[in-house]
A and B are shown apart, each in its own frame.
Chain A
């Protein structure tokens, strides 16, 4: 089954404790991305990657890091989480063709205390 998986699905942590949210896709997509969804703000892009070892900032990259060492994986790293990073996070992947769409993971709900 073609899918994007994220782990964990739910996470409660404390300020300053480093965490990683994993994302994996099995569709051999070149493109992967991270979004956060907040009430009244919709989906905002954090980082994206066009291919292995190629990453770029989205609209709200501050406080986040990513890496793309393998095509299928695109982890999101919060080196020192803060309460304003409490949010719902989505990973997405897609092909690079002109009409390609993005496929989203189920989401990771993060609470930073």
Chain B
């Protein structure tokens, strides 16, 4: 049973527009969420995180929104750039929990077209 779900395998966006990547989770014990970005032939790299005490966290062009009641989070990229084309993984765990309990979604492949 998938605890972290990314229901869109792919997303295509025009350069300069907003990219919205979605993630749903089922485990109500999760209270720390992360997004990782992965380019081909490289390992995933950490992008941004949010704990459940917040509903929004912003870092430059990247903003993560958390809706705890809906068990839903989203990553907004504004404006999207061709260099943002990558696979994005959502991950979740309990904030005080061990790294061993980090659960990943299946990923969404973002393509930003010039």
Contact = CB atoms under 8 A, between A and B. Distances in A.
Interface in B78-114: 89, 95-96, 98-100, 102, 104-107
A42 B104 contact: yes
A96 B98 contact: yes
B60 interface: no
B41 interface: yes
Contacts of B51: 99
B34 to A, nearest CB: 6
B49 A99 contact: yes
Contact of A102 (B6, B9, B46): B46
A50 B44 contact: no
Interface residues of A, number: 29
Contacts of B36: 104
A56 B44 CA distance: 22
A75 interface: no
B67 to A, nearest CB: 21
Interface residues of B, number: 24
Interface in B25-60: 32, 34, 36, 41-46, 49, 51
A113 B106 CA distance: 26
B104 A43 contact: yes
A80 interface: no
A60 B4 CA distance: 16
A52 to B, nearest CB: 15
Nearest to B100: A48
A103 B34 CA distance: 12
Interface of B: 6, 9, 32, 34, 36, 41-46, 49, 51, 89, 95-96, 98-100, 102, 104-107
Given A31-B98, A43-B107, 8 more contacts: A31-B99, A33-B100, A42-B6, A42-B104, A43-B89, A50-B99, A90-B44, A96-B98
